[in-house]
Structure 1
Amino acid sequence: MSNSGTNAKVVSLNCPKRKAWVSFQFLDEGGEGAAYAGLSYTLTDVQGQIHSGKLDGSGCARIDGLVSGLCMLSVTAGYVGGDQWYSGLSRRKRFAIPLTELQVAAEQNILGPRSANQKTYLAEQHAVKENARFYRVEVSDFVEHTGHLPDTDSTWGPKPSVKLVQASNATTEKCVELQPCQHHVFEVKALRAYSPLFSRDKAFCALNAYHLAVMTTFVYAPFSTESDPYKSAPPPYTQQGSIGNVLREQLAALKKAQQFNDAGPYNLLYEEVAYSKRLEVMPYDPALYAEEAAEGLRNPEDVHFLFDQETESQAFITHNDKVVLISVRGTAGGADALRDMDARQVPYAEGDGQAHRGFYNAFLAVKPFVERYLSAFYIKGMTVVVCGHSLGGAIALLLAEWLRREFSGDDTLLYTFGSPRAGDQGFVTGASALTHHRLVNHNDPVPSVPTTWMDAEWKVALAGTVVLLSSPPVGAGLLLGGLINLKGDDYEHHGQQRHYMPRKPEGGSEASILWQPGCESIDQQACAEFAGRISLEGDMPKRAGFIRQIVNMGEHSSDTGYSRAGLTTLVRWYASATEREGALFTPQELKDLEPQIKQVEQQVNAWQANSYLDFRRATRNDMRFYRKTDLELLAMYNDGISEAKSLQAVQSKKLNQVRARLLAEAQRVVTLQSVFGEHAQRADMHELMAEWRELKENQEAERLAQVAPVSSNTPRYA
């Protein structure tokens, strides 16, 4: 123990009664005091005299020449260091954080070892050795405004007596009591949080595909609790799986979340970070942040969460020191499903080309919410990561392209899951610089939405419809007719598509394989068949009901569809990179995929059109063909069948090439960069994965994906 503080400054009078002393030391959870060296303190003695100084290299100080009596210790000095992130938190436009030296120091310390009862013990052992009074303290014990800090930990004790004391500048300060002629040891709780890993690399990685799929499931949750009509609520947020509960009550309290809305358990890969570098939830302190409250930002929910009553659009946004994360909700039913059908086009005023009217109106509801947040908290150099599922994916695309142009430029990254098409060729061309990884489940038809012919006002028969009415309503006729209608539509997909394909024809996402077939008959099989089926539904009520049915399919779900597929890909690709020399497919997986491709090829090659008379009979009760003469119908029939035969020849050739492509894809090497993106070089990455693979849910995912279980013989790669 040191006998004095560094640069101690005592303002007092010499007096023979001043023979008392007091000393104190700040330690981290590992029983070390170096982290608190140089920490400023102020001690007020029983006579109101002020003694100020700095802790020495061991985090200790001693003050002599005191009148015997209780002393009050404060460590409230504001942070004045050179770290730009911390300095920025203190100066930002909204919700400036009253950072102290003590908080920043506590954030740099990792958790200390625990005994069987989960209590730390090294600092307490040090106190016993020094014959000192021992206390466990939190940063919140020393600051008046605690809204930006975790809620008090009732298990962290024994606690000192804490009082509000009038300071010399007419303000109040939180102080702890010190006994005269005693040494005091304060163990400061490490101020740490968990943050899920996100890669900022532009290249696709399996980690992002899994984590961001879960985030698109997460956005279906309320921020606090469900309420009708919607109403924002203050913390704490106790509903498990709610956005506020996960971000504020779990991750910020160093607890790993597993439930996201009602989905899970999903075990993400988390890193332990300094508390102020977590995914932030704004502090709740209406008195301190009166200006923000007056602007409608009273609760954290007002800042981070959007529910637009008119459009039923929903989104959440948060950030840490590296990324801004935005997740947009997909189809929830009702108005959302009908918005998918509002397929007329409007100008995309924020960029080039035309956008889907229903999706664009939803984007306009989300835009001011995001703009307000970024204007307050975005710092140049952050990566803005946007994700969305279903309808949310289409809105996310329009949003991300606007962000690329107005805020984040090349530091914009978009992942979408089962996303419909949102714009025309002009939009897609104008947004070509946007990095967009688009994931589609093999049996998910929603990415074929929208089509002009789904609109309530549409009354036109396309060439594909002629093919559909001239073929059996199954197999290749459905596929070819749907592909023709998709090809002839005004909407186009944006981004690089990756395809989750089940190992067996009726298999689920938990055993799917991610690859890029590069052939419409495989890439768009479910979409084309859906396009064909909905084209056969002649009236709007039937089409509307069909759409509601398909958006509730398991393959389209952000939970059972895309999050499960993302988890499967992460475990498969990690096994590939570390145990199979990077092979994308196992020999058995190749055997499983090849027959599915061959089956589609056989169906396409075997397709034959029905006769013109069959087509004529099929149009009798279809209002799209009313008032057509026999000559007009014959011309439509000949044109449609001619186009179908041409497409049949093209797809037959491509399907033959797909089998060769399958073998070529098998030669593609999966690297750790493919798995983890920027985190591939982390020194602790394999340690994190080893712990993650031990979790029972992940072992079950490996079993379903037919990945070898963890064993002591599993090789480790540096």
Structure 2
Amino acid sequence: MTIKEQKDSCFSGKILVCPLRGHWTSFRLVDEFGDGKPYGGLHYSVIDSIGQEYTGRLDGEGFAKVENHYRGPVVLIMDKRYNGLDQPYEQLIKREYYPLPITELQFRAEQTRFFHDDGFRREHNPAIKDADVFVQVEVRDLVREGAHLPPVVQRFHEPQSSLLRAMSELGIGPEVPFGIALSPNQHNVLEVRPMRALRPMLSTDDSFCALNLYQLALMATLSYTDFAQDPREKPLDKVRFPEDPSIGNLFGEALANYRENWRIDKHQRDRYYPLYEDVPYSKRLEILPFDPTLYAQNHPDKGKDQEHPANQHFFDDQKDGGDTQAFICHHDEVVLISVRGTASLKDAVRDVHALQVPFEEGVGRVHKGFYSAFQAISNFVRSYLGRFYVDQKIIICGHSLGGAIALLLAEALRRSTTQKYNILLYTYGAPRAGDSTFVEGAADLVHHRMVNNNDPVPGVPAPWMNANWKVWVPGLAMTVVSGYGLLVFGAGLVRVGGDPYQHHGRQQHFMPVSFNAKEWSAVLWDPDCESIEKAACTAMLEKTRQGDMPVRDGLLAQLINYTDHMMVASYIPFAWATLRRWQQTQETGASVVTEREYDVVDIALAVLKQKLHEYAQRVRYNEGPRGATKDESATIDALYKERDRLTRTRKRLQNLRYNGLTLADVYGSAAQSPEFTGSVERWFKHAENRRLEQYAMIPRQLDDGLRLARKPLDIDSIS
């Protein structure tokens, strides 16, 4: 008898001509350890070759058997929605925007763990020995809606997808394009891949910690990449994020599939791994699903109003004539916002537009270029928070121009009259963004401001452009443009009237300390004075005759050494070195600053204080017969105030000499996470995090009393 004759004799559409019942199929769901208990009690649905449905629940060992079904393979479906009360699942299921179709199976799979620490599939599950047929499945294989689920990972034991397709082509079985085909009259074992994800470990404490210093340096750098959604616009049925590195790839694919990515810049050579924590998939930093059949706002018919992950998580106002770029995503505890720094000529134009304008969302006046960038991004951020903010900590970060925009954004959100936001801000190499009135009004905003060695960008815009510009920095704005080198804009930035520009936030300064040609270290501390971060500009000005404006060639030569401002070349390595050094300090019980380092830095501060005093005296000596002019008086006043701040800075340094570090100093609130130990151990498994790095090492203490550096810091060059 031919196959066609067999089919014609047994089927009429989906009605069997003769009863061919009496067949059975058994199956069991197990985790990667071969245990079926995690899936015990789950509801299942099995559909046989004529569409007959059999329902039930798995027993306590994850086992079930369907008896007396019609001849042929059957299809297993486990699509029952989760109806528990556990957070954040209930919140995700019931939220107004993009509610997630979370199933009981997904919830259970999120409670299981990988056999291998790196999430790589296990090839030999102990449950294989009890199976006639063994397959490795994903939750998405068994449920109807899977757009919110991670992409499928390569498996050693593929499901019988060809059998499922054949059933569909023959017009038998269920009329749904999902489910797993089970072999009849055999015992089928299905290993369900755990639904675990990785997310960057962050502290939600307001206090500064080395963990956030490092992690947010990576996230700030990631903002320079593209979101890289494929297709970029007008997607039809699904989206992908294949490009690595990219924002979409990291959060939408790599971390969702438990893969530890380290690339956050396409030109990056050294590997800097974030510290990742292992979390249930629903607690990852979420990239919204795209499913036009489930979410009307995803439908291509929406045209320019169509929503998709790229325009919900990624902001770029190029089409509106600007070039501000940022990304935003969230999980149940944190909303993360990262704002990109200068990366184009349009950004550069904003950098130099230093006219002060009113900060309409608060008090004081702010840099017009930075304010226009903030205004461009404001509605995008507020719209996202309006949809997905549920009392999380809002952590904002940014580098350079991105740091200035991030400051204005953070202060505007802090002053919101419609919602009480809990905000934490970290910036890297950020210029001044507002005047003294703005800074005073934003005093309650928690802001940790990082400055690396002699980074020149935090020195602009100059605070006293109409007073002591001859002391601090010429009227210029320096912009580093990716791909184009260094652009220097001078002239036309002298402030006329109004309050001076000031820095906001608690400064954290990374200071290399050289002891001799072969031995050096580095200290991260929080000097109260601003002279430290402007040491390079100060030194340049001191070398000019009688305080005149530096010659253009000399100034350009000074600013060409801009690498202290770069993220991959400088800020990330210094943040990594600080984290490693603080880890060592906490483990050994040592102080943050050794006696040897204290002596070096203290002498350098004493030299700087004396130079400030001498310059103030010289200005006073040069007063005309009618006394000091308004500008001269302002210069003298600023110099003496800075000298007083140096006194407080030396006291802070002295306190560091006796202070040890706690776990909270190093890791903040993350030290209390149940996954903390595993996260740190995972990080140290990478050889890059065990390497010896001079900046990360605690300098040895000499017994011969030789504690002074050959060159006590860069700021000694002003002598």
TM surpasses 0.5: yes
Equivalent pair of 2:616/2:639 in contact (CA under 8 Å): no
Equivalent pair of 2:315/2:377 in contact (CA under 8 Å): yes
Equivalent pair of 2:512/2:695 in contact (CA under 8 Å): no
Q: For the structure 1 residues 506 and 224, does the alpha-carbon distance in structure 2 shift closer, same or farther, using more than 3 Å as the test?
A: farther
Q: Does 1:79 align with 2:67?
A: no
Comparing 180-189 with 16-25, which one deviates more in the overlay? 16-25
Distance 1:547 1:453 in 2: 21
Say which SS state the counterpart of residue 261 (structure 1) adopts.
Answer: coil
Say which SS state the counterpart of residue 174 (structure 1) adopts.
Answer: coil
Comparing 668-677 with 432-441, which one deviates more in the overlay? 432-441
Partner of 1:183: 187
Partner of 1:145: 145
Q: Does 1:666 align with 2:657?
A: yes
After TM superposition, the structure 1 = structure 2 runs for residues 551-570 of structure 1, keeping only pairs within 5 Å, are 553-570=562-579
Say which SS state the counterpart of residue 575 (structure 2) adopts.
Answer: helix
Letter in 2 for 1:219: S
Task: Give 1:256's match in structure 2, choosing from 251, 257, 260.
Answer: 260
Distance 1:97 1:126 in 2: 32
Letter in 2 for 1:667: Y
Partner of 2:277: 271
Distance 1:468 1:302 in 2: 40
How far 1:190 sits from its partner (Å)?
Answer: 0.9
Equivalent pair of 1:224/1:242 in contact (CA under 8 Å): yes
Distance 2:543 2:350 in 1: 20
How far 1:344 sits from its partner (Å)?
Answer: 1.8
Q: Spell out, residue by residue over 1:133-180, the C-alpha distance to the aligned partner (whole angstroms, 9 max, x if none).
A: 111111121234332222222334232336378999x97352222233
Equivalent pair of 1:76/1:173 in contact (CA under 8 Å): no
Task: Give 1:199's match in structure 2, choosing from 193, 200, 203.
Answer: 203
Task: Give 1:346's match in structure 2, choosing from 322, 333, 357.
Answer: 357
Letter in 1 for 2:383: R
Partner of 1:712: none
Equivalent pair of 1:216/1:327 in contact (CA under 8 Å): yes
How far 1:637 sits from its partner (Å)?
Answer: 6.2
Partner of 1:322: 333
Task: Give 1:490's match in structure 2, choosing from 491, 500, 505.
Answer: 500
Letter in 2 for 1:665: L
Task: Give 2:298's match in structure 1, choosing from 292, 297, 313.
Answer: 292
Q: Does 1:246 align with 2:236?
A: no
Letter in 1 for 2:606: K
How far 1:373 sits from its partner (Å)?
Answer: 1.5
Task: Give 1:462's match in structure 2, choosing from 452, 456, 467.
Answer: 467
Distance 2:109 2:195 in 1: 5
Distance 1:399 1:275 in 2: 30
How far 1:488 sits from its partner (Å)?
Answer: 9.1
How far 1:504 sits from its partner (Å)?
Answer: 3.2
Q: Spell out, residue by residue over 1:629-667, the C-alpha distance to the aligned partner (whole angstroms, 9 max, x if none).
A: xx9x87586665565556555555654664444222211
After TM superposition, the structure 1 = structure 2 runs for residues 179-578 of structure 1, keeping only pairs within 5 Å, are 179-224=183-228, 235-262=239-266, 263=268, 264-293=270-299, 294=302, 296-309=305-318, 310-379=321-390, 381-406=391-416, 409-451=420-462, 461-465=466-470, 490-504=500-514, 511-522=521-532, 524-526=534-536, 550=559, 553-578=562-587
How far 1:601 sits from its partner (Å)?
Answer: 3.4
Distance 1:421 1:531 in 2: 20
Equivalent pair of 2:324/2:377 in contact (CA under 8 Å): yes
Say which SS state the counterpart of residue 318 (structure 1) adopts.
Answer: strand
Q: Spell out, residue by residue over 1:552-585, the C-alpha distance to the aligned partner (whole angstroms, 9 max, x if none).
A: 8111122223222211111111111111x15111
Equivalent pair of 2:455/2:533 in contact (CA under 8 Å): no
After TM superposition, the structure 1 = structure 2 runs for residues 44-59 of structure 1, keeping only pairs within 5 Å, are 44-59=47-62
Distance 1:135 1:78 in 2: 24
Q: For the structure 1 residues 552 and 85, does the alpha-carbon distance in structure 2 shift closer, same or farther, using more than 3 Å as the test?
A: farther
Partner of 1:600: 608
Identity within the alignment, %: 37
Letter in 1 for 2:43: S
Equivalent pair of 2:472/2:537 in contact (CA under 8 Å): no
Say which SS state the counterpart of residue 415 (structure 2) adopts.
Answer: helix
Distance 2:283 2:441 in 1: 35
Q: For the structure 1 residues 537 and 303, does the alpha-carbon distance in structure 2 shift closer, same or farther, using more than 3 Å as the test?
A: farther
Equivalent pair of 1:213/1:417 in contact (CA under 8 Å): yes
Say which SS state the counterpart of residue 98 (structure 1) adopts.
Answer: coil
Partner of 1:585: 593
Partner of 1:136: 136
Say which SS state the counterpart of residue 507 (structure 2) adopts.
Answer: strand
Q: Spell out, residue by residue over 1:659-695, the C-alpha distance to the aligned partner (whole angstroms, 9 max, x if none).
A: 4442222112311101101122345534543443353
Say which SS state the counterpart of residue 498 (structure 1) adopts.
Answer: strand
Distance 2:557 2:96 in 1: 44
How far 1:420 sits from its partner (Å)?
Answer: 1.7
Q: Does 1:27 align with 2:30?
A: yes
Q: For the structure 1 residues 261 and 352, does the alpha-carbon distance in structure 2 shift closer, same or farther, using more than 3 Å as the test?
A: same
Distance 2:632 2:103 in 1: 75
Equivalent pair of 2:110/2:196 in contact (CA under 8 Å): yes
Q: For the structure 1 residues 486 and 85, does the alpha-carbon distance in structure 2 shift closer, same or farther, using more than 3 Å as the test?
A: farther
Equivalent pair of 1:331/1:551 in contact (CA under 8 Å): no
Say which SS state the counterpart of residue 56 (structure 2) adopts.
Answer: strand
Partner of 1:120: 122
Partner of 2:477: none
Say which SS state the counterpart of residue 532 (structure 2) adopts.
Answer: helix
Say which SS state the counterpart of residue 521 (structure 1) adopts.
Answer: coil
Distance 2:537 2:564 in 1: 12
Partner of 1:715: none
Equivalent pair of 1:567/1:701 in contact (CA under 8 Å): no
Distance 1:81 1:673 in 2: 34
Distance 2:626 2:239 in 1: 67
Q: Spell out, residue by residue over 1:233-254, the C-alpha distance to the aligned partner (whole angstroms, 9 max, x if none).
A: 8743333221112222311111
Equivalent pair of 2:461/2:501 in contact (CA under 8 Å): yes
Partner of 1:7: none
How far 1:595 sits from its partner (Å)?
Answer: 3.6
How far 1:218 sits from its partner (Å)?
Answer: 1.0
Letter in 1 for 2:359: Y
Equivalent pair of 2:398/2:427 in contact (CA under 8 Å): yes
Q: For the structure 1 residues 601 and 122, does the alpha-carbon distance in structure 2 shift closer, same or farther, using more than 3 Å as the test?
A: same
How far 1:491 sits from its partner (Å)?
Answer: 2.0
Distance 1:651 1:256 in 2: 46
How far 1:701 sits from its partner (Å)?
Answer: 5.7
TM-score of the superposed pair, with normalisation by structure 1? 0.80
Q: For the structure 1 residues 411 and 646, does the alpha-carbon distance in structure 2 shift closer, same or farther, using more than 3 Å as the test?
A: closer
Q: Which runs of 5+ in 2 are unaligned?
A: 1-14, 475-493, 701-719
Equivalent pair of 1:421/1:492 in contact (CA under 8 Å): yes
